[in-house]
């Protein structure tokens, strides 16, 4: 269940209370008159089925509650036969529910071009580079875990589906600065490692298994990236576990960026170009698949809104 805490101006409190009481997927509806002072108004709380949370919030926004009051939501575990009935009253599975307001919050936070984001990009690329140098799959996976790049990619998907220009600009800026910085850091790190004689003498960008595979984009690369985009968006929008999804997403991006830096440091522009192509294909496939996935989820949400609107007008 999702717990809603709503501060409602007194002139609309009765309407909001009646709306929630008439909603079959809402339970534990409580109203406390004049309980809030900033903003001023009545406090109304309830628990709603996740599938209907965004629909109810949409009704509240239509009443202007988010402008003159406030709407807070948190996930909650409710043990009650009433809760079971509320969930049964909301078509679909709670596990598949998309709460769009939470999705907006997650993406807005993850697309910030901050020092922490850039540091993670640099660290992930350097770890991936070392993994390529010593042929260590463990380090490659470690770089995938550290990489934060899916946040801005997901932000672009959300921006395209919801037509939010500002979010698109912020997401694109984070990627446009993050990846070049990671590549530049890898070039510098490679030159330092080479000068310190840390790179194995047997390493060669043309024959190394990881380097060669990463710099050779093919149909499978596109398919894997598309699957990663779908899985990542489902993980983000339905609040599934995101740890392994992060690994899947990064497998197609961070290693490619690191390999560009390594190849550039060695002056192997053919390999650098192939790795850049791999990065472009992967980002494009993730963006396309993620946007399509979110578009389908958005269409299902709009259909639910239409059904609720039709029911309320009868």
The pLDDT tens digits of the residues spanning 151-200 come to 899 899 999 999 889 999 999 999 999 999 999 999 999 999 999 999 98
Q: Which is nearest to 116 in space by CA: 71, 146, 138?
A: 146
Q: What pLDDT is recorded for position 243?
A: 45
Q: Which is nearest to 156 in space by CA: 108, 197, 195, 201?
A: 108
Residue 259 pLDDT > 80, yes or no? yes
Q: Please answer whether residues 127 and 253 qualify as being in contact, where contact means their C-beta atoms are separated by less than 8 angstroms.
A: no
Residue 244 pLDDT > 60, yes or no? no
Query: What is the DSSP track for 211-225?
Result: HHHHT---HHHHHHH
**18-32, 61-75, 91-105, 190-204: least confidently modelled range:** 91-105
Q: What angle do CA 6, 309, 103 make, to 5 degrees?
A: 50
Q: Please answer whether residues 62 and 91 qualify as being in contact, where contact means their C-beta atoms are separated by less than 8 angstroms.
A: no
Q: What pLDDT is recorded for position 27?
A: 94
Q: Which of 44-53, 180-189, 206-215, 252-261 has the highest mean pLDDT?
A: 180-189
Domains in the chain: boundaries: 2-97, 102-300
Q: What pLDDT is recorded for position 98?
A: 85
Task: Kindly report the CATH class assigned to 2-97.
Answer: alpha beta
Helix, strand and coil percent figures for the chain, each rounded to 5: 70, 10, 20
**pTM of the model as a whole:** 0.81
Q: What pLDDT is recorded for position 161?
A: 92
Q: What pLDDT is recorded for position 250?
A: 57
Mean pLDDT of all residues in 292-311:
82
Residue 313 pLDDT > 70, yes or no? no
Residue 67 pLDDT > 70, yes or no? yes
Mean pLDDT of all residues in 71-86:
90
């Amino acid at each position: 269940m999702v717990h809603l805490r709503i501060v409602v101006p007194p002139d609309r409190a009765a309407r909001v209370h009646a709306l929630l009481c008439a909603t079959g997927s809402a339970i534990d509806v409580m109203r406390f008159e004049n309980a809030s002072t900033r903003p001023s108004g009545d406090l109304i709380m309830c628990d709603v089925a996740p599938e209907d949370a965004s629909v109810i919030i949409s009704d509240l926004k239509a009443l202007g509650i988010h402008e003159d009051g406030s709407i807070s939501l948190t996930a909650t575990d409710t043990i009650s036969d009433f809760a079971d009935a509320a969930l049964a009253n909301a078509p679909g599975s709670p596990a598949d529910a998309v709460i769009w307001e939470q999705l907006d919050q997650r993406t807005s936070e993850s697309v910030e071009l901050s020092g922490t984001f850039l540091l993670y990009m640099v660290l992930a690329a350097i770890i991936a580079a070392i993994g390529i140098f010593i042929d260590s799959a463990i380090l490659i996976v470690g770089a995938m875990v550290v990489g934060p790049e899916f946040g801005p990619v997901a932000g672009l998907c959300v921006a395209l589906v919801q037509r939010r220009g500002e979010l698109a600009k912020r997401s694109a800026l984070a990627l446009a600065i993050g990846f070049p910085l990671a590549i530049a850091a890898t070039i510098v790190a490679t030159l330092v490692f080479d000068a310190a004689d840390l790179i194995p003498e047997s390493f060669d960008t043309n024959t190394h298994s990881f380097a060669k595979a990463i710099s050779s984009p093919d149909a499978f690369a596109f398919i894997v990236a598309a699957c990663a985009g779908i899985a990542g968006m489902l993980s983000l929008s339905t609040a599934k576990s995101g740890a392994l999804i992060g690994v899947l997403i990064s497998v197609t991006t961070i290693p490619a960026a690191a390999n560009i830096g390594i190849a550039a440091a060695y002056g192997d522009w053919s390999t650098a170009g192939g790795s850049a192509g791999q990065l472009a294909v992967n980002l494009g496939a993730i963006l396309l698949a993620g946007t399509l996935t979110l578009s389908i989820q958005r269409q299902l949400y709009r259909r639910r809104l239409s059904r609720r609107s039709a029911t309320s007008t009868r």
